[in-house]
Homo-oligomer: A and B are copies of this chain.
Amino acid sequence: MMNKIQVIGFDADDTLWVNEPYFYDTTRRFCTLLSDYAPCEQVEKLLYQTEVGNIPLYGYGAKSFILSMVETALRISSDQVSAGTIHKILELGKDLINKPVQLIDGVREVLDELHREQFRLIVATKGDLLDQERKLRKSGLEGYFHHIEIMSDKQEGDYKKMLNHLDVPPESFMMVGNSLRSDILPVLGLGSYGVYVPFHTTWKHEELDESDLSHPALIKVDNISHIPEIIKNTNQH
């Protein structure tokens, strides 16, 4: 029987490798640097507002985050923060970019299996172009992927463009990711399959109430290792 699913797309951050915990940890250290000006909760809230406000201009990813930290430090201190603190913020940012790439459990095994079974595997991720390329290289997973798509946004139209470009009909595409908002809902809208694999830490901006989500092409699993089994079930229908 022919496989219905031919191409499987994987989100990268917090789907293939750990990411959000590093941002979380950096945010904690950023709060400590600014503890003279405001309690952590308030710093964090302003940082989030600044980040979201800057998305149209800066987009996603590590460099945007660093610029938003600098801006937040200026705002929370009413332009009183010292140059030494700004210096430390830039260092926090460089540390963040240089973090090791830590694969999530089961990722290598499942990619290896799907690759052997001749599925065309792609990475479809937001974020910083160079940063994501570097993480992929460091991950040692590059060889499994036929194509890497780094997107400035992950809305339905962005996926549509990608599938056209790859010449894949939506019903043959399955997207795997930890963000309902960015990885799952847009592809369901196109008629593709979405495999939602929640990660224990999710950036607030990606959070969505999942209580009333129900769609025949949406599958939720607790680990990426269930994908081959899901594909078998999908093909039996």
Contacts and interface: CB of A to CB of B under 8 A. Distances in A.
Interface string A173-186: 00000000000000
A interface SS class: helix
B150 A129 contact: yes
Interface residues on A, range: 20 to 34
B57 A70 contact: no
For A63, A74, A147, A165, the residue with the greatest tally of chain B CB atoms inside 10 Å of its CB is A63
Interface of A: 57-59, 63-64, 66-67, 70-71, 73-74, 77, 79-84, 86-87, 90, 93-94, 97-98, 128-131, 133, 147, 150, 152, 165
Contact of A70 (B80, B81, B84, B90): B90
Number of copies: 2
A63 B67 contact: yes
A89 to B, nearest CB: 9
A98 B57 CA distance: 8
B74 A87 contact: yes
Given A57-B98, A63-B63, A70-B70, 18 more contacts: A57-B94, A57-B97, A58-B97, A58-B130, A59-B130, A63-B64, A67-B67, A67-B90, A70-B86, A70-B90, A71-B90, A73-B83, A74-B87, A79-B84, A82-B83, A129-B150, A130-B152, A150-B150
